[in-house]
């Protein structure tokens, strides 16, 4: 309860000091003149208006002035994508989360103005603030009252009328819809290594679903590293384990099942990517830390899901055994044991030779050379040795074991 109250008082626009500033009649006149200038030339720069802007006192809240449509100067400048003016307004320490409806971030997301979205977020715009949306039409003075009497049965997908409270993410989805309809030729174009679908997979699943519905190709790979969308989800994604699972299901249903065992340019399949990702999180947070984005049980669940959906061949990837990948990267011996046990039960071959000529058992013995705790060795050997491992496959390796 105390945390909720604290969040309320921190985010309440009514308590922001800047919002209690008034505005003089002289300033109202100057802001009205700026509205006229923007109407005549939406791309007018701050430099052109410098003489007028410099006369506005910094202790006055210019957002209290509205044009004939009912919007303030920030809403107007965001709507016409005048980045220069938006930057000047934000420099006056304005509250971007306050307004009766059509908040600046909502408008920028709806139109897909990436530069302005980034600017607003840096000035503390919150994506979880819900608001009604009258823009691009004129502001309806009764929009808040209309929401009380709207018909609950008319909840159409994609309807962002002023009757409903929505966070900015839903307007960003509508912005994607607008962009794919207006610039459909770019939906399958690679830009700066990635395709649009690679970027969409890192965000809310509705973005990914919308692109797929509009014809985005799911089997594309990144230009240099040749990573599929599944690789991207596991290696770069910051979603929860549940959201990641739902994203994987959607991708597998739309063509990625055929590429579930395809390696990238380094020979890593999506299964390898998932193992490496856990190792990176483990190194960052520590394997005994409960607040990792994905804990060990989440990863086991995701690994099991991949194996059940056709990823078993990835375990014995030529030159890059998933068993060796686990032994090489995962430090938590208990989780390492569980993961190795699962992979062996699913057909893992402990005799797969890696690119460097090593086999999983050789990787398993490395901790002894490095004088790591003995349990790193014993728990892994407990899994590897009962799996019909033929030690004397190579003379060099026999000498290695004899030396140990």
Torsion of CA 210, 212, 216, 217, to 10 degrees: 160
What's the total number of domains in the chain?
A: 1
Please list the residues that pair with 166 across neighbouring strands: 131
- Specify if 269 maps to a domain: no
DSSP string across 330-347: ---HHHHHHHHHHHHHTT
Residue 38 within any structural domain of the chain = yes
Q: Which residues pair with 319 in a beta bridge?
A: 354
Is 105 within a domain?
yes
The SS3 of residue 392 is helix
Each residue's pLDDT expressed in tens, for the chain with a length of 404 residues:
444 444 444 444 444 444 446 789 999 999 999 999 999 999 999 999 999 999 999 888 898 999 988 889 999 999 999 999 999 999 988 888 877 788 888 888 777 788 888 898 888 888 777 777 777 778 776 665 444 433 333 333 333 444 455 555 554 555 555 556 666 777 888 888 888 889 888 888 888 888 898 888 999 999 999 999 999 999 988 888 899 999 999 999 999 999 999 999 999 999 999 999 888 888 777 655 555 678 888 899 999 999 999 999 999 888 888 988 888 888 888 888 899 999 999 998 888 887 777 787 777 776 666 555 555 545 555 555 455 544 444 444 444 343 33
Structure tokens given for 46: 């701050």
Angle between helix 333-345 and 375-384 (nearest 10): 10
In this structure, how many other beta carbons lie within 10 angstroms of the beta carbon of residue 184? Answer: 11
In a domain? residue 355:
no
Which pair of tokens denotes residue 210? 């919308």
With respect to residue 39, please indicate whether it lies within any of the assigned structural domains: yes
Whether cis (ω within 30° of 0) applies to the bond prior to 136 is: yes
Structural domain harbouring 172: 21-141+158-177
In a domain, 248, yes or no: no
Q: Is residue 126 part of a domain?
A: yes
Domain membership of residue 76 (yes or no) is yes
**CATH code, domain with 77:** 1.25.40.20
């Amino acid at each position: 309860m105390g945390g909720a109250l604290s969040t309320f008082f921190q985010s309440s626009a009514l308590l922001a000091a800047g919002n209690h500033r008034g505005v003089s009649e002289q300033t109202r006149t100057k802001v009205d003149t700026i509205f006229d200038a923007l109407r005549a030339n939406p791309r007018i720069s701050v430099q052109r208006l410098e003489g007028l802007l410099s006369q506005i006192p910094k202790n006055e809240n210019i957002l209290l002035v509205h044009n004939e449509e009912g919007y303030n100067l920030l809403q107007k400048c965001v709507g016409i994508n005048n980045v220069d003016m938006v930057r000047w307004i934000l420099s006056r320490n304005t509250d971007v989360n306050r307004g009766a409806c059509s908040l600046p971030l909502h408008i920028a997301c709806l139109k897909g103005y990436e530069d302005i979205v980034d600017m607003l977020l840096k000035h503390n715009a919150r994506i979880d603030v819900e608001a009604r949306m009258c823009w691009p039409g004129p502001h309806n003075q009764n929009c808040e009252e209309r929401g009380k009497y709207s018909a609950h049965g008319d909840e159409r997908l994609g309807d962002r009328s002023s009757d409903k409270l929505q966070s900015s993410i839903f307007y960003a989805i509508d912005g994607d819809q607008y962009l794919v309809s207006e610039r459909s030729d770019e939906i399958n174009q690679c830009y700066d290594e990635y395709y649009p679908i690679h970027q969409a997979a890192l965000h809310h699943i509705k973005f990914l679903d919308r692109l797929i519905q509009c014809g985005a190709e799911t089997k594309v790979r990144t230009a240099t590293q040749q990573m599929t969308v599944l690789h991207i989800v596991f290696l770069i994604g910051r979603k929860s384990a549940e959201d990641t699972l739902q994203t994987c299901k959607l991708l597998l249903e739309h063509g990625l099942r055929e590429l579930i065992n395809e390696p990238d340019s380094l020979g890593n399949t999506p299964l390898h990517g998932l193992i490496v990702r856990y190792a990176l999180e483990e190194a960052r947070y520590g394997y005994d830390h409960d607040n990792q984005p994905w804990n060990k049980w989440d990863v086991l669940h995701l690994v099991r899901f991949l194996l059940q959906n056709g990823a078993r061949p990835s375990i014995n990837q030529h030159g890059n055994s998933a068993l060796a990948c686990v032994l090489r990267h995962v430090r938590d011996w208990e989780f390492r044991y569980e993961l190795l046990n699962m992979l062996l039960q699913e057909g893992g071959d402990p005799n797969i030779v890696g690119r460097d000529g090593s086999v999983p058992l050789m990787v398993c013995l490395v901790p002894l050379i490095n004088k790591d705790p003995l349990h790193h060795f014993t728990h892994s050997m407990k899994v590897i040795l009962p799996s019909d491992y033929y030690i004397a496959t190579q003379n060099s390796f026999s000498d290695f074991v004899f030396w140990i």
